[in-house]
Structure 1
Amino acid sequence: MSMDILPSRESNFEKQNEKLFRQWFQFADADGDGRITGDDAVKIFSLSLLSRQELKQVWAVADSKRQGFLGFKEFVTAMQIISLAQKGTEVTADILKNTEVENISPPAMEGLDELLSRRRSSPLKLAAESNGSSNQLQAESAQWFTSKSTKKSGPDDRSVPGNTIAVQADMPFSGLTRFGTAFLSKFECSQMPHPLLEHITFVDTPGVLSGEKQRTQRSYDFTGVTSWFAAKCDLILLLFDPYKLDISDEFRRVIGSLRGHDDKIRVVLNKADQVDTQQLMRVYGALMWSLGKVLNTPEVMRVYIGSFNDKPINEGATGPIGKELFEKEQEDLLTDLKDIPRKACDRRINEFVKRARAATIHSYIISHLKKEMPAMMGKAKAQQRLIDNLADEFAKVQREYHLPAGDFPSVEHFKEVLAGYNIDKFEKLKPKMVQSVDNMLGYDIPELLQRFRNPYD
């Protein structure tokens, strides 16, 4: 991660140059809101005389969380990187990791001193700078109480393999109260010091049941909880090991609950150093065959192969080729995890678009079912007929409004929910509201995405 540098070294650098960087930051922060936007950055970063491609990399590293703006600490990071780039250092995501931060001098900014002196001559500008400093202090005070930790579910059945792990950048847990005290009593939170965990939260499920244990009923809705986490996370890891590749009925239900989140799913084949190369090829083929029967999609899931623990790889079984493969796979998995904070903004917007499209399709379905109901007699029979033939009704809606079939909800789940409502009391479709959603998806969302883009793209 671009910000994985020792806090003490970073604070020393800030302390030595804080007054100068405060002046630069307040000059760039035109509206005094404690943030430097893309337009603000273009004006001040261009004074470094670095190329546009170099400045693009500077912004990408400094804005590692894809916020679309830089706070004061991110601004200081950008100044560090610019200083190194001016001395010929290549700008990469790890540029600050192996550098003595306190030894970096402020960058040379062509004409900035003259611009600052002009601003000091205006009392109005000074007042604006003072307000900007106050807003910045307020923003830093708000960040002072922010913390991140790892969270995982309770210990029941965790000896059984087949876990799923939901990984995300940030998530509140108050919505889990809907699953009752039986689940909450098994939900645990723990904290582990690690630089990666400052940006990512891990949620570890207990092992899914298999064999005779499948007949044991859990005291809470296991698949419902999994589905709740899947809708809010950024990455989902399905864990297997070489000796237990079978997908039990419960694991099948869990994977089924991930419908609509296929782009988040990754598969991890762990403990792969317990078999030799020839057996590993057979295990991999068997795993893909088992997944093919459950994941009804022609796209192949990304599978990470390795031994993901703190023990050395068993070269006796894998050989030198297997060791090299496992190291590359582990690096790819870590890269996938490190990309989560950078992609979190895009993911949230995509999830919002997905929910908006789902709401639109839901309104079309409800309106269609309402129109199919009789005006006077036989409403109960008509409702039961519509529920029994819901798949055909979905097809009618799809053809009438030219909607993609993949965006429609699960027929079985919709039937189950629909049975508890009176279709005759549903609202009619309001075309103006649907048009408003279409306009939002067509115009407002692209404008929102533009705000979070790298200003040098």
Structure 2
Amino acid sequence: MFSWLSRDENKKGPELFESVVEGLKKIYKTKLLPLEEFYDFHEFHSPKLEDPDFDAKPMILLVGQYSTGKTTFIRYLLEQDFPGIRIGPEPTTDRFIAVMYGDNDGVIPGNALVVDPKKQFKPLTKFGNMFLNRFQCSLVNTPVLKGISIVDTPGILSGEKQRVDRGYDFTGVLEWFAERVDRIILLFDAHKLDISDEFRRSIEALRGHDDKIRIVLNKADMIDHQQLMRVYGALMWSLGKVLQTPEVARVYIGSFWDQPLRYDVNRRLFEDEEQDLFRDLQSLPRNAALRKLNDLIKRARLAKVHAYIISALKREMPAMFGKDTKKKELIKNLGQIYDQIQREHQISPGDFPDLKRMQEALSHHDFTKFHPLKPRLLEVVDKMLAEDIANLMAMIPHEEVTHPIEPHVKGGIFEGVEDKVSPFGYKKGEGVDAGSGEPEWIVNKERSKYDELFRSLGPVDGKLSGSVAKKAMVASKLPNQVLGKIWKLSDIDKDGFLDADEFALAMHLIDIKVDGHSLPTELPDHLVPPSKRSS
């Protein structure tokens, strides 16, 4: 069956690949997939990966209770509506909507979507017609979606509503998407922090993908700064109980829509948080290959553990009588088998599948049809992890140079992230940017106090030596490394002395840094004193 697995094959050196994605496809099909198929991995954990899984653009999954602003968040990113959009205070989105790029706007229903060989949704057929009737793809012609795709999910219910059966495995669908997306954004409403039972189960379904999760506290402009502090603390407390991670989760606070802020006292905070989040999302295309590598490594480790579990159960089964009794006993004592495998093969506990879910899945299988351990299959996967994966990782920097892709998401709200034209761009008119485009030298606004200090230091021939100027500069209490950088920027003549203009510039840069702004690496033209510009 596995004729390709010869000893000569195993002696060959590492393979060479044309690209990282092509390499991932090849090593998956030739080295990991045989192990998965031999031990029925796809029936227990995750469907077989197809080419579109490797070729797909980065995807963002939005998850949250109803009316937390998921659909509005997408509209805010795109700066336009998409087919099928519905926004309201009640649960308006009752379906999974994959918002993707298309030359023409339109909708592809779920049943047609899963048979499209160019899309990665074929495995979703296992969730049945009840799900497929509530799944669609909305095509939108916008530059944003040339870099990413976004998945809107049904609003998670609370109270009595969550008792209603959706008719399909909701958390199972979330798990499928979580395994394949690049970012998972959990949205919370500043007025609705309670985590319902269904939301808790949904968050638990995302475990194992903590590195992909970003948390957004939305609609934060609806409360004042004092309430916001309390809400933030309450959210962190609730998340600590559900996520069960030792690290404190990063929460982005803001109001992700295009309407006036109710309380704008936190405008600056919202701008900073929005910039951080959008820069993270913008970087997804650049990091897509690395994410796919990481996911394949996690899958390979799980497949190896699964092989050990299945072969251990096969080994314990009797040859003739008492098979049913032994099967029940093995399922009941699966935790002990986990411990034994962990000790024998030095495997981390975090690599094992969830115990209860594995027990439930095993109850539907015939243990006598399981296969014993095939060390050769495992050796191929070990070699893949040790050599092929390492080679693909080394290719990523080189591929970025030889086959450059658009490193950032463009269009929509992302244009505002890099806005350097309008006066409303991020931090425009602040710090070193203050005064740019204006005819008057910005330093002149505070020039009188700088000149008074300059004269008090007793300049000689209109200049201060470094040792004299240092007395005034160290009064700022900034570190010497920072003051040294300010000196280099201010000493425009590079003669080791500061004249009145240069000293005023130095004190202006100190004020900028003390106010919490960053210093430039080079002096912008609008900060150069007029008397120095000709030179």
Considering the TM-score relative to the shorter chain, is it more than 0.5? yes
Q: 1:433 aligns with which of 358, 372, 377?
A: 377
What percentage of residue pairs aligned between the two structures are identical? 52
Describe the shift of the 1:264–1:404 C-alpha distance in structure 2 as closer, same or farther (beyond 3 A).
same
Q: Give the drift of 1:182.
A: 1.5
User: Structure 1: how far apart are the matches of 2:365 and 2:181?
Assistant: 31
> Match for residue 256 of structure 2?
308
Shift of residue 151 of structure 1?
A: 8.6
**Aligned match of 2:343 in 399, 407, 410?**
399
Structure 2 unaligned blocks of 5 or more: 1-17, 20-54, 56-79, 102-117, 402-535
Give the corresponding residue for 1:366.
Answer: 310
Q: Compute the TM-score of the two structures, normalised by the length of structure 1.
A: 0.62
SS in 2 for 1:436: helix
Q: Answer yes or no: is the 8 Å Cα contact 2:86–2:92 preserved in 1.
A: no
Counterpart Cα distance in 1 of 2:350 and 2:324: 30
Distance change in 2, residues 1:162/1:250 (3 Å): farther
Q: Aligned match of 2:157 in 193, 202, 209?
A: 209
Q: Deviations over 1:108-160 (max 9, x none)?
A: xxxxxxxxxxxxxxxxxxxxxxxxxxxxxxxxxxxxxxxxx999999799834
User: 1:268 and 2:238 equivalent?
Assistant: no
Residue 159 (1) aligns with residue 90 (2): yes
Deviation track 1:28-82 (CA, whole Å, cap 9, x = no partner) reads xxxxx99xxxxxxxxxxxxxxxxxxxxxxxxxxxxxxxx9xxxxxxxxxxxxxxx
In structure 2, distance between residues paired with 1:216 and 1:334: 35
Q: Take 1:371 and 1:197, find their aligned partners in 2: how far apart are those partners?
A: 51
Offset, 1:195: 2.2
Shift of 1:244: 0.8
1:339 pairs, out of 274, 283, 294, with: 283
- After superposition, the CA RMSD in angstroms is 3.2
Which amino acid in structure 2 is aligned with residue 190 of structure 1?
Answer: S
Structure 1: runs of 5 or more not aligned:
1-32, 35-66, 68-148
**Preserved CA contact (<8 Å) 1:387 1:419:** yes
Matched residue, 1:256: 204
Distance 1:153 1:252 in 2: 27
Letter of the 1:293 partner, please give it: K
Question: Would the aligned equivalents of 1:166 and 1:237 in 2 still touch at CA under 8 Å?
Answer: no
The one-letter amino acid of 2:240's match is G
- Measured in 2, the distance between the counterparts of 1:437 and 1:452 equals 21
Verify the 8 A CA contact 1:153 1:189 in the aligned structure 2: no
- Residues 101-180 of structure 1: matches in 2 within 5 Å? 159-160=90-91, 172-180=120-128
3-state SS of the aligned residue for 2:156?
coil
Measure, in 1, the Cα distance between the counterparts of 2:233 and 2:83: 31
Q: Please say if 1:417 is aligned against 2:374.
A: no
1:353 aligns with 2:297: yes
Alpha-carbon displacement from aligned partner over 1:79-115 (angstroms, at most 9, x marks no partner)? xxxxxxxxxxxxxxxxxxxxxxxxxxxxxxxxxxxxx
Secondary structure of the residue aligned to 1:190 is: strand
Q: Is the 8 A contact 1:367 1:426 kept in 2?
A: yes
Show CA shifts across 1:366-394 (max 9, x none): 11112222333322111101111212221
Q: CA deviation at 1:162?
A: 11
Structure 2 residue aligned with 1:451:
395
CA distance 1:367–1:158, shift in 2 (3 Å): farther
Q: Quote how far apart the aligned CAs of 1:455 are.
A: 7.1
- The offset of 1:360, in angstroms, is 0.5
Task: State whether structure 2 residue 326 is matched by structure 1 residue 382.
Answer: yes
TM-score (norm 2): 0.53
Give how far 1:263 is off: 0.7
- Note the C-alpha offset of 1:179: 1.5
Q: Aligned in 2, Cα 1:213/1:450: closer, same or farther, shift over 3 Å? A: same
SS at match of 1:191: strand
Residues in 2 aligned to 1:181 and 1:311: alpha-carbon distance in whole angstroms: 38
Change in Cα spacing, 1:250 to 1:445, as seen in structure 2 (3 Å) is same
Corresponding position of 1:41: none
> Structure 1 residues 188 and 167, CA, compared in 2 at 3 Å: closer, same or farther?
closer
Q: Indicate which of 140, 155, 174 corresponds to 1:226.
A: 174
